[in-house]
C-alpha cells in the first residue's frame, strides 16, 4: 500500500506549495513596503521610498521562492 499514489494528497501538497509561495510574496512586499513607508515619513520622499520598498520586497520574495522551491 505504500506504493500507491493518492492524487488528492498530491494535489493538496501542490496547493500548499502555492499558498506558501503566495505568502512569501505578500509578506515580502508588505514588510519592505512598510520599511519604505517609514523611510518616506522620515526623509519626506513623497512616496518613492514606499515604491522602492515594495519593488525590493517583491524581488527578494521571488528570490526566496525560487531558492526554496527550486522553480
- Per-residue three-class SS string for 20-56: HHHHHHHHHHHHHHHHHHHHHHHHCCCCHHHHHHHHH
- Residue 48 is predicted with a pLDDT of 95
Average pLDDT in the 6-33 region? 87
pTM: 0.76
**DSSP one-letter code for 2:** T
Q: Using CA atoms, how far apart are residues 45 and 15, in angstroms rounded to an integer? A: 40
pLDDT at 68 over 70: yes
What is the per-residue pLDDT for 13? Answer: 83
Amino acid at each position: 500500500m505504500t506504493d500507491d499514489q493518492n492524487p488528492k494528497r498530491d494535489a493538496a501538497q501542490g496547493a500548499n506549495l502555492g499558498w506558501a509561495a503566495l505568502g512569501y510574496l505578500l509578506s515580502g512586499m508588505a514588510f519592505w513596503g512598510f520599511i519604505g513607508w517609514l523611510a518616506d515619513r522620515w526623509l519626506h520622499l513623497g512616496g518613492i521610498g514606499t515604491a522602492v520598498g515594495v519593488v525590493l520586497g517583491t524581488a527578494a520574495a521571488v528570490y526566496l521562492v525560487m531558492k526554496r522551491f527550486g522553480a
